[in-house]
């Protein structure tokens, strides 16, 4: 019973510092204007009542619940009764209680409208989020089906044609199976990350001071395991750089960008990874000397695949869509900045920043 009451109180009469300050602020400003009016304008009664009503309306509209609106209405009538007594005297005996009642009614009505409006906005946002989630799921399912089909096909081909397949073709099929499986695993890892930091509400990631060179070196060694023949130049600052971050996520950003350079930077022979400090940020750059990013894709490159898909068919195997939007999400969660461009000499350049220090924010 007590809990229920408390819940109701929280829902309809929530108390917060912000709202209290807002109420006090609005009321003080209005009273101040009223005082100035009484000094310079004669026959100011009408202005005063209109201003007080406006104050009640504003408070009821911009605070949560009914509490602050009603308080303002009460304060307004008290002010009329004791401060602006000229106005009070003008009202007939029945007039004052009636005026009080209407002001309170105004407060309650406005608050009700505000509450309803908030509820409606919330519902619509939920619906939007649902829709995005649905689109993402559809796109992902589609993307998963392609490699799975080819794995199934290759495995069946090997089993059913055991006697006729040459050793070379068997190995070729098997290496394709391996490649597809690796792609699927990376895709799933990216999706897991998305669910870990999805939504504005749980954008919280746990940041600890990590050595940049350790994060970079682990990303590089994982990359080299997968692409042992690719040339990769890595340069990190001479001094030890400790930056607050979620190391696993940043490592994933680096791996995504490096692998992206191999799979999408057509003709790339050299990939470089550079880390340096600029102002209050650590800057990470992954560049290749391949074909670069098609101009029409550039504006949407971090938007995730659902937008991209409606654009020109970019690439059949589109891990880039999810991979890059995951990168952007991770960097955003670190209060960093991410961008992509084409280099002057040819090739793509991806750059992201991470603040050297966490902003102290309450």
Partner 1 sequence: MSQTHTVLVVEDEHNIASFMTTVLTANEFHVLKAKTGAEALALNASYNPDVILLDLGLPDIDGQKVIKSIRESSDVPIIVLTARTHERDKVAALDLGADDYVTKPFGTSELLARIRTALRHAKNRGRKDSALQIGIYRAKGLTINYEKRRAYVDGKDIHLTQTEYNIVSLLSHYAGRVLTYDYIIRNIWGPLVGNDNQILRVNMANIRRKLEKNPAEPEYIFTEMGVGYRMLESD
For partner 1, the binding residue among 132, 171, 235, 358 (CB under 8 A) is 235
- Cβ 213 to partner 1 shortest distance, Å: 5
Residue with tokens 């009080």: 100
Residue 66 sits at the vertex; the CA angle it makes with 62 and 69, to the nearest 5 degrees, is 60
Contact call for residue 303 and partner 1 (CB under 8 A): no
Rounded to whole angstroms, how far apart are CA atoms 319 and 254? 15
User: Do 277 and 236 touch, CB atoms closer than 8 A?
Assistant: no
For partner 1, the binding residue among 43, 195, 221, 278 (CB under 8 A) is 221
Sign of CA dihedral 124, 129, 133, 135: positive
Contact call for residue 130 and partner 1 (CB under 8 A): no
Least Cα distance to 67 among 58, 59, 76 occurs for 59
Biggest alpha carbon–alpha carbon distance for the chain: 109
Judged on CB neighbours under 10 Å (0-12, 13-18, 19+), 293 is buried
User: Do 308 and 292 touch, CB atoms closer than 8 A?
Assistant: no
Contact call for residue 189 and partner 1 (CB under 8 A): yes
Structure tokens at 340: 């992509």
Contact call for residue 67 and partner 1 (CB under 8 A): no
Contact call for residue 214 and partner 1 (CB under 8 A): yes
Structure tokens at 119: 């509820």
For partner 1, which stretch binds (CB under 8 A), given 215-223, 277-285, 298-306, 318-326? 215-223
Contact call for residue 37 and partner 1 (CB under 8 A): no
- Cβ 110 to partner 1 shortest distance, Å: 49
Contact call for residue 240 and partner 1 (CB under 8 A): yes
Contact call for residue 198 and partner 1 (CB under 8 A): no
Nearer of residues 113 and 235 to partner 1, judged by Cβ: 235
- Cβ 212 to partner 1 shortest distance, Å: 9
- Cβ 342 to partner 1 shortest distance, Å: 25
For partner 1, the binding residue among 140, 151, 236, 340 (CB under 8 A) is 236
Contact call for residue 254 and partner 1 (CB under 8 A): no
For partner 1, which stretch binds (CB under 8 A), given 125-133, 244-252, 295-303, 310-318? 244-252
Q: Left if phi > 0, otherwise alpha if psi is -120 to 50, otherwise beta: which for 151?
A: alpha
Structure tokens at 285: 């750059």
Rounded to whole angstroms, how far apart are CA atoms 17 and 1? 27
Query: For every residue of 175-215, which 3-state class applies, written as one string?
Result: HHHHHHHHHHHHHHHHHHHHHHHCCCCCCCCCCEEEEHHHH
- Cβ 268 to partner 1 shortest distance, Å: 19
For partner 1, which stretch binds (CB under 8 A), given 124-132, 168-176, 217-225, 285-293? 217-225
- Helix (H/G/I), strand (E/B), else coil: 10: helix
For partner 1, the binding residue among 154, 255, 273, 286 (CB under 8 A) is 273
| Size of site (CB under 8 A) for partner 1 | 26
Distance in Å from the first CA to the final CA of the chain = 34
For partner 1, which stretch binds (CB under 8 A), given 52-60, 75-83, 236-244, 258-266? 236-244
Least Cα distance to 329 among 216, 215, 208, 199 occurs for 199
Nearer of residues 54 and 181 to partner 1, judged by Cβ: 181
Contact call for residue 176 and partner 1 (CB under 8 A): no
Query: Contact residues for partner 1 (CB under 8 A)?
Result: 181, 185, 189, 192, 209, 211, 213-218, 220-221, 225, 234-236, 238, 240, 242, 247-248, 251, 273, 275
């Amino acid at each position: 019973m007590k809990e229920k009451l408390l819940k109701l109180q929280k829902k309809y009469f929530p108390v917060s510092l912000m709202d209290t300050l807002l109420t006090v602020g609005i009321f003080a400003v209005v009273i101040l204007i009223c005082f100035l009016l009484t000094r310079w304008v004669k026959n100011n009664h009408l202005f005063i009542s209109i201003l007080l009503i406006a104050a009640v309306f504003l408070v009821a509209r911009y605070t949560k619940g009914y509490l602050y609106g009603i308080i303002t209405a009460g304060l307004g009538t008290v002010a009329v009764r004791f401060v602006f007594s000229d106005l009070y005297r003008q009202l007939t005996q029945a007039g004052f209680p009636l005026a009080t009642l209407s002001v309170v009614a105004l407060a309650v009505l406005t608050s009700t409208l505000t509450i309803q409006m908030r509820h409606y906005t919330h519902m619509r946002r939920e619906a939007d989020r649902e829709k995005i989630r649905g689109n993402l799921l559809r796109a992902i399912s589609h993307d998963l089906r392609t490699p799975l089909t080819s794995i199934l096909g290759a495995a069946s081909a090997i089993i059913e044609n055991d006697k006729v397949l040459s050793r070379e073709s068997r190995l070729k099929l098997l290496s394709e199976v391996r490649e597809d499986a690796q792609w699927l695993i990376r895709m799933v890892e990216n999706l897991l990350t998305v669910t870990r930091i999805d939504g504005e509400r749980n954008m919280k990631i746990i940041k600890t001071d990590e050595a940049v060179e350790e994060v970079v070196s682990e990303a590089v060694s994982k990359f080299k395991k997968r692409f042992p023949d690719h040339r990769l130049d890595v340069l990190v600052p001479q001094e030890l750089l400790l930056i607050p971050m979620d190391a696993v996520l940043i490592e994933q950003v680096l791996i995504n960008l490096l692998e992206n350079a191999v799979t999408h930077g057509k003709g790339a022979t050299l990939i470089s990874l550079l880390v340096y400090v600029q102002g209050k940020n650590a800057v990470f750059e992954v560049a290749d000397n391949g074909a670069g990013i098609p101009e029409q894709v550039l504006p949407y490159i971090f938007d995730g695949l659902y937008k991209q898909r409606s654009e020109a068919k970019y690439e059949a195997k589109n891990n880039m869509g999810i991979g890059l939007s995951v990168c952007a999400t991770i960097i955003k969660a670190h209060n960093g900045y991410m961008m992509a461009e084409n280099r002057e000499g040819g090739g793509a350049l991806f750059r992201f920043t991470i603040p050297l220090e966490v902003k102290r924010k309450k």
